[in-house]
Amino acid sequence: MMKWLDSNGTDKNTIFRMVRLALVSVAAIGLGVTPRNVHGQQSFNQCIDNCYGLACSGYPLGSSARQACQDRCVQFNCKNRPVYPFGAIAYSKPDEAAGWAYEQVDKSTAENVAMQNCRKQGGAQCQLVTSFQRTCASVAANGNFVGVGTAGNKDSAQKAALEQCARSGGKNCKTQAWVCSAPNSASSATPSTPSTPRDPNAPSWGAIAYSGRDMGAGYSQGKADRATAEREAMSVCAQRGKECVLRSTFNKQCGALAADGTITGTSTSTNQREALAKALDKCKRAGGTRCVPHIAFCSF
């Protein structure tokens, strides 16, 4: 069993509880989920992520024992979980700041979270531009010209928003934000477990990108090649940060990023907790005094 002791000899269980709480809270806030949902009932997607992340991370990668653990976790823990379908986007024209929410329990909560996140991004005149459920949405803008689109996938939503922005008079419209809130969840509320284990020899690339200026982050996982993983991580980060830099790329490993503003630490390992612990340590050694977890996941 891995020993969790810091330089002061703090009890390992205390450290684990602190790190896990910080990880879940920071990740949830970064993705537009309110803290009350973190400590409340998990949604279906959150439950799935936990099964393929923390819950079975003690088993070796690619092992039949790990696959069996994941299958049991999904089958017995997730099938009755709710799918929260509501999302929203808020936008501030003067500073091009956007905030969004997804997988919220109702429309009002989604709208409030989107407005809060817009203000956190520096928006001085945040206004709600759209709220939706079980679909994707996007906002595009060129100065005072703003377009909004909704569709069943992000590409179509972005296209619709750009077209509406152009029709309103925008000459150089650009996507400012996009988000999907439980698309097609009506047909996938009951999970199905994989019929065959994943090929342990198949590549499974992951990547992490981060913008120190505004603490925006993006990641990708389970990609067939390195280039695709890096592109997706940068693309997701670009929706949340203005100075995104690729920080880490890895294959069939767990990756983590911890940060204190512009000071960061990244690490990879075969174990998610170990990757996070190393990332926190690197951040502190780089000069961070308030290093907190931003991303930790396994790409397999």
Question: pLDDT digits over 219-238, tens only?
Answer: 888 888 999 999 988 988 88
Q: Which two tokens stand for residue 168?
A: 């309103």
Between 172 and 23, the more confident residue is 172
* Mean pLDDT of the 252-278 span: 87
Q: Are 31 and 58 in contact (CB under 8 A)?
A: no
| The residue count for the chain | 300
pLDDT at 167 over 60: yes
d(CA 227, CA 246): 12
Measured CA distances, 300 to 187, 199, 227 (Å): 25, 10, 16
Using 50, 70 and 90 to split pLDDT, how confident is the model at 162?
A: very high
Mean pLDDT of 160-174: 94
How far is residue 204 from each of residues 198, 199, 213, 220, measured CA to CA in Å?
Answer: 10, 10, 30, 10
- The pLDDT score that the predictor gives to residue 111 is 93
Q: How far is 187 from 27, CA to CA, in rounded Å?
A: 27
Gap between the Cα atoms of 227 and 63, Å rounded = 27
Structure tokens at 247: 């920080």
Q: How far apart are CA 82 and CA 22, in angstroms?
A: 24
State whether residue 86 is helix, strand or coil.
strand
Residue that wins the pLDDT comparison between 34 and 148? 148
d(CA 6, CA 22): 16
pLDDT score at 103: 77
81-102 pLDDT, tens per residue? 566 788 999 999 999 999 988 8
Span 200-214, pLDDT tens digits = 567 889 999 998 888
The one-character DSSP state at 211 is E
- Enumerate residues 6+ apart whose C-beta is below 8 A from 232: 207, 218, 220, 223
Task: Output the pLDDT for position 180.
Answer: 84
pLDDT band (50, 70, 90) for residue 124: very high
